[in-house]
């Protein structure tokens, strides 16, 4: 399903002293099946944007078109739509509530009306996707470590096999291995199911590594969108938005200060940088 | 200042939340022996669940060792008088800036802790001013904390801590929820506080942040596993890898180059030295 935000504005608490316009005239499109990263500093409107996409907030004005579904200020009955969208909120482990890991993961598929066999299949599959050992299925989620709880919460959303998977800062608070693991899970899940992924982050390394399209937000507006190279080309612009370039890019930039033929700053994976340096070294010797 | 004694001293410290229910090899912290001198800048790294936050809370007497002793200055956290003094000596800054705000203006938020201490009004005013000055929030006195950026909120939390005149400030993953600009603001402030003579203890997952400190401690599997000058980490990155911690980018690159036959054996003490080595190898050819 193609996603299209058409002149969307969102105001919190309209008509009260707390009225706050969080999004202003948003125009942006995501292709079906693409991996989209939404970046921007705190308060720029990222979470509001994805809550609109999840059907949890309605636009104050403008239209959100997702496939055949039109969402606007007076939309009703978004229940069917929400079934197609899986959302992993910030700190999702705080939303676990069932007595066992398996029941928690089964909650989503059950709500979708899957039969018992299908639910079981999806629970087993989702646990394997996120790397939870099968013998944890009957444990209470509250006896698990923070990192494992995060995996249970994410498994619950993956088990719904959403057409659109939304993740709001999914790696926040995880340790380094936890972060790396989760990113590789997301990458494989996206490739396997071909769903559209919308991943909110303020980690530029994550955005560069995973995204096909980056949406850069500032002050309630989309100020730029495009491929990672198109976004990270402009360091001063990013810094004004309170952001930065990926670590690899920063490193290539300092390397380039003394190279007659600069290394391409379109490289975001360290292994690709190593390949490039080896290539140059071999060519020279 | 001349130190005859360590500022912080942990001897034979064991701690658990339910010591009567847990086997000793599962306790949250096990056999910690450690000293920290006045004015040090120490980073603590370790996987999720390894005991870092527990360690932090032992330092300011929020938790008392189940076995062993924590001494800060002349006091022990195990006795009531000691706790009273130590709570004032050791300030804590936590992960989530939103959970640390208590008042509706910036000024009142800083005042809150001082009021609790019973500081007289005429003394409070200059202390608040000075604390806001240190964190760069002068001019924000009447602003509503809820409307500050993430970095500003975290700096406000730090002002609240500084106003209490602590000798030691413990940051428990205080940069992990911030966007790049907010992180940079807080890192700068840590550096400044250290230069002003505070003892800074910073819990983080970021290798980049580890190298801002002078000394790095690794807590993994509930035990102290490593304690060394941060510059040593560059050439002993296997130690970080062993505990699943982030290895600095230049060192990961060096390993990738070595896999493909380009061996850089010169010691690397920081990122610039690695850049210089690459230049050398590429121009040699
Ligand atoms: N429930 C709410 N009521 C009023 N204002 C809100 C609410 N939630 C968010 N905001 C404000 O809307 C703006 C955008 O917030 P958000 O979408 O959460 O940004 P981000 O996710 O990029 O940090 C911010 O200024 C924020 O303070
Ligand atoms: N309030 C608590 N009650 C019981 N166990 C706890 C509590 N807080 C932490 N723990 C346990 O203590 C261990 C260390 O936790 P913590 O110090 O929070 O680790 P870290 O900060 O390194 O992630 C973990 O096994 C954790 O599950
Ligand atoms: Mg947000
Ligand atoms: Mg912790």
At B141-182, the pLDDT tens digits run 999 998 888 888 999 999 999 999 899 999 999 998 888 888
Asked whether residue B31 falls in the same domain as residue B135, the answer is: yes
DSSP lists the bridge partners of residue B170 as B92, B201
Mean pLDDT throughout A77-102?
91
Q: Is residue B1 part of a domain?
A: no
Asked whether residue B144 falls in the same domain as residue B74, the answer is: yes
At A152-169, the pLDDT tens digits run 999 999 999 999 999 999
Asked whether residue B94 falls in the same domain as residue B181, the answer is: yes
DSSP lists the bridge partners of residue A38 as A200, A215
Asked whether residue B135 falls in the same domain as residue B267, the answer is: no
Tell which one of B13, B14, B17 to mutate to probe ligand 2, the residue whose CB is within 8 A of the most ligand atoms.
Answer: B17
Task: Parse chain A into domains and list their residue ranges.
Answer: 246-285
User: Cα–Cα distance between B32 and B11 in angstroms, integer?
Assistant: 6
Asked whether residue B129 falls in the same domain as residue B269, the answer is: no
- Using the 8-state DSSP alphabet, how is residue B26 labeled? G
Question: How far apart, in Å, are the Cα atoms of A231 and each of A149, A167, A245, A247, B72?
Answer: 34, 21, 9, 14, 49
Asked whether residue B78 falls in the same domain as residue B138, the answer is: yes
Given a cut of 60, is residue A175 above it in pLDDT?
A: yes
Given a cut of 90, is residue B283 above it in pLDDT?
A: no
Does the beta carbon of B53 lie inside 6 Å of ligand 2?
yes
Nearest-CA residue for ligand 2 atom 26 is B49
What is the percent of chain B where pLDDT is above 90? 68
Touching check for A175 and chain B: CB below 8 Å? yes
- Using the 8-state DSSP alphabet, how is residue B247 labeled? P
Q: Is residue B52 part of a domain?
A: yes
Domain CATH code at residue B191: 3.40.50.300
Q: How much is the pLDDT for B147?
A: 84
Mean pLDDT throughout B211-233?
93
User: Cα–Cα distance between B181 and A39 in angstroms, integer?
Assistant: 13
Cβ–Cβ under 8 Å, residues B30 and B200: no
Given a cut of 70, is residue B285 above it in pLDDT?
A: no
Asked whether residue B252 falls in the same domain as residue B137, the answer is: no
Q: Which atom of ligand 1 is nearest to the CA of A40?
A: 22
Q: Is residue B118 part of a domain?
A: yes
Mean of per-residue pLDDT scores for chain A = 93
Instruction: Report the sign of the C-alpha dihedral through residues A123, A125, A128, A133, in that order.
Output: positive
At B183-220, the pLDDT tens digits run 898 999 999 999 999 999 999 999 889 989 999 999 99
Q: How much is the pLDDT for B143?
A: 93
User: Cα–Cα distance between A9 and B269 in angstroms, integer?
Assistant: 50
Are A274 and B281 in contact (CB < 8 Å)?
no
At A196-234, the pLDDT tens digits run 999 999 899 999 999 999 999 999 999 999 999 999 988
Asked whether residue B173 falls in the same domain as residue B256, the answer is: no
To probe the interface with A, which of B21, B45, B46, B48 has the most A CB atoms within 10 Å?
B48
| CA-based nearest residue to B135, from B113, B110, B112 | B110
Task: Measure A226 CA to nearest chain B CA, in Å.
Answer: 20
Asked whether residue B213 falls in the same domain as residue B253, the answer is: no
Q: Is residue B151 part of a domain?
A: yes
In the numeric block, which tokens belong to residue B86?
């130590």
- Using the 8-state DSSP alphabet, how is residue B120 labeled? -
Q: How much is the pLDDT for B241?
A: 86
Q: How much is the pLDDT for B4?
A: 56
The structure's pTM equals 0.89
The beta strands (E) that lie in chain B are given as 8-15, 29-36, 41-45, 67-72, 75-76, 90-93, 168-172, 199-203, 215-220, 223-229
Q: Report how far ligand 3's centroid is from the alpha carbon of B153 (Å).
A: 15
Q: How many domains does chain B have?
A: 2
What is the percent of chain A where pLDDT is above 90? 79
Asked whether residue B206 falls in the same domain as residue B269, the answer is: no
Q: How much is the pLDDT for A173?
A: 85
Backbone dihedral region for residue B61 (phi beyond 0: left; psi -120 to 50: alpha; all else: beta): left
Q: Is residue B234 part of a domain?
A: yes
Given a cut of 90, is residue B11 above it in pLDDT?
A: yes
Cβ–Cβ under 8 Å, residues A173 and B176: yes
Mean pLDDT throughout A94-103?
92
User: Cα–Cα distance between A211 and A35 in angstroms, integer?
Assistant: 5
Q: How much is the pLDDT for A94?
A: 85
Does the beta carbon of B204 lie inside 6 Å of ligand 2?
no
Q: Which domain does B110 fall in, by range?
A: 6-246
Asked whether residue B70 falls in the same domain as residue B116, the answer is: yes
User: Cα–Cα distance between B89 and B33 in angstroms, integer?
Assistant: 21
Confidence of residue A240 (pLDDT cuts 50, 70, 90): confident
Asked whether residue B162 falls in the same domain as residue B268, the answer is: no
Given a cut of 70, is residue B2 above it in pLDDT?
A: no
SS (H, E, C) chain A: CCEEEEEEEEEECCCCCCCEEEEEEEEEEECCCCEEEEECCCCCCHHHHHHHHCCCCCCCEEEEEECCEEECCCCCCCHHHHCCEEEECCCHHHHCCCCCHHHHHHHHHHHCCCCHHHHHHHHHHHHHHCCCCHHHCCCCHHHCCHHHHHHHHHHHHHCCCCCEEEEECCCCCCCHHHHHHHHHHHHHHHHHHCCEEEEECCCHHHHHHHCCEEEEEECCEEEEEECHHHHHCCHHHHHHCCCCCCHHHHHHHHHHCCCCCCCCCCCCCHHHHHHHHHHHHHHHC
Confidence of residue A285 (pLDDT cuts 50, 70, 90): low
């Amino acid at each position: 399903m193609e996603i299209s935000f058409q002149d969307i504005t969102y105001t919190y608490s309209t008509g009260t002293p707390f009225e706050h316009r969080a999004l202003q005239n948003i125009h942006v499109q995501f292709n079906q099946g693409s991996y989209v990263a939404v970046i921007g500093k705190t308060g720029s409107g990222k979470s509001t944007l994805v809550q609109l996409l999840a059907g949890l907030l309605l636009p104050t004005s403008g239209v959100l078109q997702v496939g055949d579904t039109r969402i606007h200020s007076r939309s009703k009955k978004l229940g069917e739509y929400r079934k197609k969208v899986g959302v992993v909120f910030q700190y999702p482990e705080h939303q676990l509530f069932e007595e066992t890991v398996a029941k928690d993961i089964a909650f989503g598929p059950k709500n979708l009306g899957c039969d018992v066999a299908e639910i079981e299949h999806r629970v087993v599959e989702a646990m394997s996707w996120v790397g939870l050992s099968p013998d944890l299925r009957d444990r209470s989620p509250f006896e698990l470590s923070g990192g494992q709880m995060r995996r249970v919460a994410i498994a619950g959303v993956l088990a719904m096999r959403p057409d659109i998977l939304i993740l709001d800062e999914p790696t926040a608070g995880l340790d380094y291995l936890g972060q790396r693991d989760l990113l590789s899970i997301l990458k494989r899940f996206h490739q396997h199911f071909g769903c559209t992924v919308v991943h909110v982050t303020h980690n530029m390394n994550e955005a560069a590594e995973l995204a096909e399209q980056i949406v850069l937000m500032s002050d309630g507006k989309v100020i730029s969108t495009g491929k990672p190279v198109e976004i990270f080309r402009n360091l001063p612009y990013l810094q004004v938005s309170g952001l930065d370039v990926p670590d690899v890019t920063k490193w290539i930039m300092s390397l380039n200060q003394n190279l007659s033929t600069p290394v391409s700053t379109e490289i975001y994976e360290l292994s690709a940088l190593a390949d490039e340096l080896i290539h140059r070294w071999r060519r020279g010797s | 200042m001349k130190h005859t004694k360590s500022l912080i001293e942990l001897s034979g410290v064991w701690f658990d939340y339910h010591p009567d229910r847990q086997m000793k090899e599962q306790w949250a912290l096990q056999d910690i022996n450690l000293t920290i001198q006045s004015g040090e800048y120490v980073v603590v790294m370790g996987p999720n669940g390894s005991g870092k936050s527990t360690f932090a809370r032992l330092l300011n007497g929020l938790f008392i060792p189940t076995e062993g002793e924590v001494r800060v200055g002349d006091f022990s956290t195990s006795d009531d008088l000691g706790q009273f003094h130590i709570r004032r000596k050791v300030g804590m800054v936590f992960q989530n800036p939103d959970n640390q705000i208590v008042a509706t203006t910036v000024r009142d938020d800083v005042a809150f802790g001082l009021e609790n201490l019973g500081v007289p009004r005429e003394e409070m005013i200059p202390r608040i001013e000075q604390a806001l000055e240190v964190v760069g929030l002068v001019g924000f006195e009447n602003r509503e904390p809820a409307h500050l950026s993430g970095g500003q909120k975290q700096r406000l939390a730090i002002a609240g801590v500084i106003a209490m005149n602590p000798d030691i400030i413990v940051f428990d993953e205080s940069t992990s929820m911030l966007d790049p600009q907010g992180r940079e603001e807080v890192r700068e402030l840590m550096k400044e506080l250290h230069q002003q003579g505070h003892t800074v203890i910073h819990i983080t997952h970021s290798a980049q942040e580890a190298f801002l400190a002078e000394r790095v401690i690794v807590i993994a599997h509930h035990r102290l596993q490593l304690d060394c000058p941060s510059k040593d980490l560059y050439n002993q990155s296997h130690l970080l890898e062993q505990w699943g911690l982030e290895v600095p980018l230049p060192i990961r690159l060096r390993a990738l180059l070595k896999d493909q036959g380009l061996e850089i054996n010169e010691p690397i003490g920081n990122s610039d030295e690695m850049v210089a080595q690459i230049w050398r190898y590429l121009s040699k050819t």
